[in-house]
A = this chain, B = another copy of it.
């Protein structure tokens, strides 16, 4: 893991307007809250940024803060004693980090790109949640979605082949970046190593499989950070077995 986090105080908007101006408010837990709830939330929030490669928090640390991601991509990962790691997910703008509500973070969160976030002190956030059932409902909704994703990923990791895993991954990324044109162009914010650690594969297998897909005209690889899905139907058939 790289150097620790250094939270940069936000410049820009004056505090009272910040949440209302937030791009990701509707997708985030802040969405659908009454305006008094929103301002209560804003009162316990602080805004921050970290550079690519820096850590937001580390597995096993005391869980002092909960975060809503507003810009960038974050890698969530768990590690074994000997250094093998599994990425359990990638968080993107609007996602909430810290849903498990445990004393210690059960996974690490590292910035894959430059990242901006809203940070809530855990104790104050929990008090707030206790007083506002609407927030609790919203969190439960988020947790349910996460849980369904996690179960989908277990199916992938336990039973799918390398080709099926990559096909599933590309389709999931396309869906998240949802521009529903005929041939989606997916941007990969993370490198091959992170894709491998997410799919339970090695770098080499990821690279080989993508090359194979390109050879079969299922995708095109204009550069290492972009994938054009040329045959979504075939990819979907692969992904579902």
Contacts and interface: CB of A to CB of B under 8 A. Distances in A.
Interface of A: 78, 80-82, 84-86, 88, 99-102, 106-107, 130, 133, 136-137, 139-141, 143-148, 150-155, 157-160, 197, 199-200, 240-241
Given A133-B133, A140-B136, A159-B85, A150 B152 contact: no
A86 to B, nearest CB: 4
15 contacts: A78-B151, A78-B155, A80-B159, A80-B240, A86-B155, A100-B148, A102-B144, A106-B151, A130-B133, A133-B133, A133-B136, A143-B143, A147-B147, A150-B154, A154-B154
Given A80-B155, A80-B160, A100 B240 contact: no
Contacts of A136: 133, 136-137, 140
Instruction: Count this chain's copies in the assembly.
Output: 2
B240 A86 contact: no
B241 A84 contact: yes
Contacts of A81: 240-241
A150 B100 CA distance: 11
A241 B157 contact: no
A135 to B, nearest CB: 10
A240 B148 CA distance: 26
Contact of A158 (B141, B147, B155, B157): B157
Contacts of A153: 154
B133 A143 contact: no
Contacts of A106: 148, 151-152
